[in-house]
Amino acid sequence: MADAIQPRSQVNNATSIVTAAGTLFNANTSRVQWTIQNVGTDTLYVKLGAGASSSDYHVALAAGSAADDGLGGFLSSDVVSYNGIVTIAGTTVRAAVVEL
């Protein structure tokens, strides 16, 4: 019998809705994947590091036309492989996030 696949760690593996600026993910060397989608109506600023703001960020995720319409910008570790702290900022924050 083959060995079962084991997770590298216990991290969040369900979609969460985040509505506050600040630390989105703490540094986690066991992280294997993450995703962020802006499901709000204002630009979402993402920084791969501490202290995201509208003037200090790496990626600006476009807003949707209405809350939760699925049209907002999307970023995942398929695009950026990164295990450090991730922070977000925006006028009104609303993001769907997953960390595996």
Query: What pLDDT, on a 0 to 100 scale, did the predictor assign at position 35?
Result: 93
pLDDT at 9 > cutoff 70: no
- Polymer length of the chain: 100
In terms of pLDDT, which residue wins out, 50 or 2?
50
What's the chain's Rg over C-alpha atoms? 14
Q: Which of 94, 86, 85, 98 is nearest to 46 (CA)?
A: 86
Write down the pLDDT at residue 13.
56
The 10s digit of each residue's pLDDT in 30-62 is 888 899 999 999 999 999 999 999 999 999 999
pLDDT at 81: 78
> How large a percentage of the chain has pLDDT more than 90?
69
Kindly state the percentage of the chain with pLDDT values over 70. Answer: 84
- Domains of the chain by residue range: 16-99
Query: Is pLDDT above 70 for 93?
Result: yes
